[in-house]
């Protein structure tokens, strides 16, 4: 099967899912365009702002589309082959991931734009709310750990040689990506200051700062030596620097960095999607990876080499993500101006993320072997795709664009995850002062800081350090999705409304993630010794046990809530 035909089949399946299954969910929820939404009822110009669906779709999509649908499919493809990955991406996105995002958005809109944890607290119990909040915080911590480490790997100094037009071109990929990414963040800060000071029209800011974003990519290729660091501890140093950025960024006003960075990041995301589509359908690339590698590849992948359950949690956000429910019920539900917009925004954005996962998967499918860590592999593939448009002589620029697109997705996630973690600790412990906010932020980044320092250095022939955390991140993220669907199931059950379409995917995801957590807990707690690697494994095992305990408590409380009389 050719790559373009495969792409067409996936796009057709996603489109059919939106038209058929998405419409069925809308009918089941009784979507009413005449029903006033919280954005209209509580409009305040700050948090509750009715927004046109096209713009809201872009904002929501850029918030949920991070490194997960890029790293997960690439890692899973190297372990299991591309066919089971593609099958789960399509089926998972249509019947579970998009249904979860849409359900979380509708539930929040129907509950005055409350968060998922608050909905669980209202319909299950106050104790379940506390357990859910702790679970979410632990899941966010692992989001930060996994994404920080995999991003730090893309910043490592490495001189590469490319044969272009008969000449050998040398360029420093890691230093170029680091310089471009840092310049991008400075550019976003500058845009925030300009907007705040002069309140310029959005079209003018777009015309100036979007091309400037491409400009910093080119600048990275010219200034790659400024931030080029290598050595056994360089990745840890970059990880610490990224966590320092998260600490500062999560305390800054949203207008200064979060909003302008998210706006520019959305354009980078759309450009990356366009580049991927061009390469997928016009690049004439061959599939060089095997379609299937077996059900048990533990010899190559270690204890996470079983197709069941680890394929699902390794792909993570490419098919289903509990983090999306936090976004849907945190900011997006406060901007839905009409209930009919929930399907294109909630359901549609997840299908777009499935397409992001397809493009990421294709970047490893066209290579005989990975070009390095997932970020480097994605950058290499996207670089070859972009070279179809701008010419192979510009391949260094194209590769750096792909790598910076990857790091942009990550920065859009890790500082938001840090901010959400701060909010959770502030709410649970009633921290209201600036000092309390700083303390909550320090706790949220402090745990990832320990893990980054405790991870063994990256060594040739050994699994990348991020792999020590990725599987547990994917598992906790998808188990959060199962708990979200469980809370929505209880809500619908107590209303005496049909809930099978939520209950069945919840059961599947719950079974897969609990299975994966039990295996990870056993592997982690069985580790012995005093080396940093075994300490990390033991901590992972302890966290897996904690997640199982918290999830089990929420399930027990949900059963009790279902058995309580309605009144």
* pLDDT reported for residue 489: 97
DSSP per residue, 468-505:
HHHHHHHHHHHHHHHHHHHHHHHHHHHTT---HHHHHH
Burial of 494 (0-12, 13-18, 19+ CB in 10 A): middle
* pLDDT reported for residue 529: 55
User: Residue 465: how many CB atoms within 10 A of its CB?
Assistant: 26
User: Residue 280: how many CB atoms within 10 A of its CB?
Assistant: 23
Sequence-ordered list of residues with C-beta below 8 angstroms from that of 484, at least 6 positions apart, any chain: 100, 103, 104, 116, 322, 325
Long-range contacts, 398-403 (Cβ 8 Å, 24+): 399/173, 400/173, 400/176, 400/177, 400/180, 400/217, 400/220, 400/221, 401/214, 401/217, 401/275, 402/272, 402/275, 402/378, 403/154, 403/173, 403/176, 403/177, 403/180, 403/375, 403/376, 403/378, 403/379
Question: Model-level pTM?
Answer: 0.91
Domain of residue 510, residue span: 3-563
Cβ–Cβ < 8 Å for 482, 506: yes
DSSP-derived letter for residue 291 is S
Residue 523 pLDDT class (50, 70, 90 cuts): confident
Angle between helices 82-92 and 307-315 (to 10 degrees): 60
* pLDDT reported for residue 135: 96
Residue 189 has pLDDT above 70, yes or no: yes
User: Average pLDDT for residues 162-189, to the nearest whole number?
Assistant: 80
Q: pLDDT of 273-300, one tens digit each? A: 899 998 888 878 999 999 999 998 887 7
The rounded percent of the chain whose pLDDT value lies above 90 is 54
Measured CA to CA, the distance from residue 2 to residue 95 in angstroms comes to: 26
Residue 477 pLDDT class (50, 70, 90 cuts): very high
Sequence-ordered list of residues with C-beta below 8 angstroms from that of 459, at least 6 positions apart, any chain: none
DSSP-derived letter for residue 54 is H
Cβ–Cβ < 8 Å for 65, 353: yes
* pLDDT reported for residue 211: 95
The DSSP element (H or E) to which 323 belongs, if any, is: helix 322-330
In the beta sheet, which residues pair with residue 306? 296
Q: List C-alpha distances in Å: 244 to 79, 250, 254, 257, 457.
A: 33, 10, 17, 15, 20
Q: Is 367 left (phi over 0), alpha (psi -120 to 50) or beta?
A: beta
In 3D, which of 389, 406, 390 has the Cα closest to residue 265?
A: 406
Return the CATH number at 447: 1.20.1740.10
Measured CA to CA, the distance from residue 232 to residue 143 in angstroms comes to: 24
User: Residue 211: how many CB atoms within 10 A of its CB?
Assistant: 10
Q: What's the chain's average pLDDT?
A: 88
Residue 360 has pLDDT above 80, yes or no: yes
Q: Is 461 left (phi over 0), alpha (psi -120 to 50) or beta?
A: left
User: Residue 541: how many CB atoms within 10 A of its CB?
Assistant: 20
Measured CA to CA, the distance from residue 295 to residue 317 in angstroms comes to: 21
160: three-class secondary structure by DSSP: strand
Q: pLDDT of 152-161, one tens digit each? A: 888 887 777 6
Residue 475 has pLDDT above 90, yes or no: yes
* pLDDT reported for residue 407: 78
Measured CA to CA, the distance from residue 410 to residue 43 in angstroms comes to: 31
Helices (H), 252-285: 258-282
The DSSP element (H or E) to which 7 belongs, if any, is: helix 3-16
In the beta sheet, which residues pair with residue 156? 229
Measured CA to CA, the distance from residue 255 to residue 373 in angstroms comes to: 33
Residue 367 has pLDDT above 80, yes or no: yes
Residue 141 has pLDDT above 60, yes or no: yes
Residue 342 pLDDT class (50, 70, 90 cuts): very high
- Tokens describing residue 26: 């809308």
Measured CA to CA, the distance from residue 560 to residue 50 in angstroms comes to: 37
Q: Which 3-state string (H, E, C) describes 163-174?
A: EECCEEEEEEHH
* pLDDT reported for residue 65: 82
The DSSP element (H or E) to which 159 belongs, if any, is: strand 159-164
In the beta sheet, which residues pair with residue 51? 336
Handedness of CA 280, 286, 287, 288 (dihedral sign): negative
* pLDDT reported for residue 153: 81
Number of domains forming the structure of the chain: 1
Residue 174 pLDDT class (50, 70, 90 cuts): confident
Q: 134-138, 412-416, 541-545: which has the minimum mean pLDDT?
A: 412-416
* pLDDT reported for residue 553: 97
């Amino acid at each position: 099967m050719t790559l373009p035909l495969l792409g067409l089949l996936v796009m057709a399946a996603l489109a059919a899912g939106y038209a058929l299954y998405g419409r069925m969910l809308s009918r089941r929820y009784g979507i009413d365009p005449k029903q006033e939404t919280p954005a209209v009822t509580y409009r305040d110009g700050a948090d509750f702002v009715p927004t046109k669906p096209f713009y809201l779709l872009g904002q929501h999509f850029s918030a949920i589309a991070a490194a997960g649908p890029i790293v997960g499919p690439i890692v899973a493809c190297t372990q299991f082959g591309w066919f089971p990955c593609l099958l789960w991406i399509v089926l998972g996105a249509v019947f579970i991931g998009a249904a979860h995002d849409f359900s979380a958005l509708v539930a929040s809109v129907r509950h005055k734009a409350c968060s998922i944890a608050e909905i669980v607290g209202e319909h299950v119990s106050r104790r379940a709310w506390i357990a859910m909040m702790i679970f979410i915080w632990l899941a966010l911590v692992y989001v930060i750990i996994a994404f920080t480490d995999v991003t730090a790997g893309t910043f490592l100094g490495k001189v590469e040689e490319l044969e272009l037009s008969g000449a050998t071109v040398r360029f420093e990929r890691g230093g170029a990506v680091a310089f471009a990414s840092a310049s991008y963040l400075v550019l976003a800060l500058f845009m925030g200051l300009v907007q705040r000071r002069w309140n310029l029209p959005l079209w003018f800011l777009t015309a100036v700062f979007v091309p400037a974003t491409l400009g910093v990519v080119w600048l990275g290729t010219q200034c790659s030596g400024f931030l080029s660091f290598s050595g056994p501890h360089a990745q840890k140093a970059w990880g610490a620097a990224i966590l320092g950025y998260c600490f500062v960024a999560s305390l800054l006003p949203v207008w200064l960095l979060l909003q302008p960075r998210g706006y520019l990041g959305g354009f980078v995301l759309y450009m990356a999607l366009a580049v991927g589509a061009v390469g997928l359908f016009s690049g004439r690339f061959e599939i060089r990876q095997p379609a299937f590698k077996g059900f048990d590849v533990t010899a190559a992948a270690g204890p996470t080499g079983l197709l069941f359950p680890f394929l699902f949690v390794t792909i993570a956000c490419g098919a289903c993500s509990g983090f999306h429910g936090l976004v849907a019920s945190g900011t997006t539900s406060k901007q839905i101006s009409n209930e009919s917009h929930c399907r294109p925004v909630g359901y549609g954005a997840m299908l777009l993320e499935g397409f992001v996962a397809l493009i990421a998967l294709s970047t490893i499918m066209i290579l005989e072997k990975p070009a390095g860590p997932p970020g480097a592999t994605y950058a290499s593939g996207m670089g070859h795709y972009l070279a179809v448009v701008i010419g192979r002589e510009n391949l260094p620029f194209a590769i750096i664009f792909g790598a910076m697109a990857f790091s942009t997705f990550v920065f859009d996630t890790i500082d938001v995850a840090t901010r959400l973690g701060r909010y959770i600790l502030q709410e649970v412990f009633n921290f209201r002062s600036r000092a309390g906010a700083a303390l909550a932020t320090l706790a949220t980044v402090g745990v990832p800081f320990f893990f980054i320092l405790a991870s063994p250095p990256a060594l040739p022939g050994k699994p990348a350090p991020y792999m020590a955390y990725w599987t547990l991140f994917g598992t906790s993220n998808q188990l959060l999705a199962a708990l979200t669907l469980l809370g929505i199931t209880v809500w619908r059950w107590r209303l005496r409304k049909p809930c099978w379409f939520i209950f069945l995917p919840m059961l599947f995801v719950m079974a897969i993630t609990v299975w994966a957590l039990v295996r990870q807990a056993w592997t982690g707690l069985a580790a012995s010794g005093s080396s940093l690697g075994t300490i990390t494994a033991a901590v992972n095992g302890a966290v897996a046990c904690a997640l199982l305990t918290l999830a089990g408590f929420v399930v027990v409380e949900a059963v009790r809530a279902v058995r309580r009389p309605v009144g």
